[in-house]
Amino acid sequence: MQTLELTPEHIAAEKIDEVLMRLYQPAFLQVARYISKHGGSFDAARDIFHDSLSIYYEQYQAGKAIESEINYITGVAKHLWLRQCKRDTLQVNLDESPSAVILPPEPTLNEVKLIQLLERTGKRCMDLLVSFYLEKISLVNISTLFHFSSEHSAAVQKYKCLEKVRDVIKTKSIAYEDFFE
Amino acid sequence: MRTSLNEISAIEHYLNDEFNATEKRAFEERMQNHEALRLNTFLQRKIYVILPFYRRRRIKERAEQIHDHLFHHPEHTTFRNSILQLF
């Protein structure tokens, strides 16, 4: 019998999929209604919705108490849409309060550049670090998922990844001062 | 572990506030005297800061794939039409 090999990407994608698939249709409908009512296009609704979903997942994974998932996602979308309208100096009806949702921090431009660089040069390490620090997957499970020989080996690899990512930042000559924004 | 990895481990303990008062003071004194340790601590903190932003991009990639599936497969026609009629 053929055995399908589970990779870390499969596991992470399954976990994320479970949440995204459950919420995608009802939440997108609500967000799309709001964006269309306030002058946005289908593409704008999709982009704003995907940003909102990713922010929601972050809160969910961190164990933050959220009363209504769909209302939270819509609240985030309203904030993001108003911010985009202000940035693009579009006329929007500001009668409606954008909700009490507080947006988490956005990356700076230099951080975005850094992340794009790491997506090209250090994806496996970044995935390992996300698995450990954010998804809270144990070192035992990480050793299985990433095919390390033991928990100790996974722990060492985690530090090697921190070293590698740090060195990528250094060697690509991203100025030290750039980060003091 | 290699010395450099031990240093990374120590930086992690420091950033997570896992040192006792004596260890913390000793680490901060070492930082004052070693520019490389200061820089490495700064960069390691930066890695922890950008990890959530990296994950957001991965989640958005997945959301795009789900979107493409929902808008290109006939079994989701009802959902697709209910969205498209809004625009």
ipTM: 0.84
A179 pLDDT above the threshold of 90:
no
Interface of A with B in 102-161 (CB under 8 A): 104, 107, 111-112, 114-115, 118-119, 126, 129-130, 133-134, 156, 159-160
Cα separation of A96 and B62, whole Å?
Answer: 31
Touching check for A11 and chain B: CB below 8 Å? no
Q: How far is CA A112 from the centre of its chain?
A: 12
pLDDT at A154: 94
pLDDT at A99: 63
Per-residue pLDDT of chain B (87 residues; tens, 9 = 90+): 778 889 999 999 999 999 999 999 999 999 999 999 999 999 999 999 999 999 999 999 999 999 999 999 999 999 999 999 999
Touching check for A60 and chain B: CB below 8 Å? no
Size of interface A-B (CB pairs under 8 A): 114
Report angle CA A52, A57, A59 to the nearest 5 degrees.
Answer: 100
Half-sphere exposure of A6 (CA within 13 A, CB side): 11
**8 Å CB contact between A158 and A132:** yes
Residues 6+ apart with CB under 8 A from B15: B41, B44, B45, B48
Cβ <8 Å between A166 and B47: yes
Residue A37 tokens, joined? 């009512």
**8 Å CB contact between A23 and A70:** yes
Lowest mean pLDDT segment, chosen from A13-22, A45-54, A109-118: A13-22
| φ, ψ dihedrals at A92, nearest 5° | -130, 155
Please name which of A66, A174, A62 lies closest in space to residue B51, comparing C-alpha atoms: A62
For residue B53, the chain A residue with the least C-alpha distance is: A107
Sign of the Cα torsion A67, A14, A150, B52 reads: negative
Percent of chain A with pLDDT over 90: 47
Please name which of A30, A15, A40 lies closest in space to residue B62, comparing C-alpha atoms: A15
Please name which of A83, A72, A80, A74 lies closest in space to residue A30, comparing C-alpha atoms: A74
pLDDT at A64: 83
In angstroms, what separates the C-alpha of A25 from chain B's closest C-alpha?
7
Cβ <8 Å between A20 and B59: yes
Chain A CB contacts of B37 below 8 Å: none
Cβ <8 Å between B54 and A126: yes
Residue A55 tokens, joined? 């922010």
Q: What is the pTM of this model?
A: 0.83
A110 pLDDT above the threshold of 90:
no
A135 pLDDT above the threshold of 60:
yes
